[in-house]
Amino acid sequence: MEDNFKKGTTTVAIVCDKGVVLATDKRASAGYLIAHKNAQKLFKITESVGVACAGVVGDIQSLIGLLRAEANLYEMKDRKKISTKALAQLTSNILQGQRYYPLIAWLVLGGYDSNGAEAYSIDPIGGVNKDTMISTGSGSTIAYGLLEDRFRENMTIEEGIELSIRAINVAIQRDLATGDGIAVTIINSSGYKELSKKEIENVVVKVKNK
Distance in angstroms (rounded) separating the CA atoms of residues 18 and 93: 28
Contacts within 8 Å (CB) and 24+ apart, 189-194: 189/18, 189/19, 189/112, 191/47, 191/48, 192/44, 192/46, 192/47, 192/48, 192/49, 192/50, 194/42
CA 30-31-36 angle, to 5 degrees, is 30
> In terms of residues, how long is the chain?
210
Percent composition of the chain: helix, strand, coil (DSSP 3-state, to 5): 40, 30, 30
Neighbouring C-beta atoms of residue 64, cutoff 10 Å: 18
Helix (H) or strand (E) holding 66: helix 57-78
Neighbouring-strand partners of residue 111: 49, 118
Catalytic residue (one of 9, 46, 84, 185): 9
Annotated catalytic, 9?
A: yes
Give the catalytic positions in this structure. 9
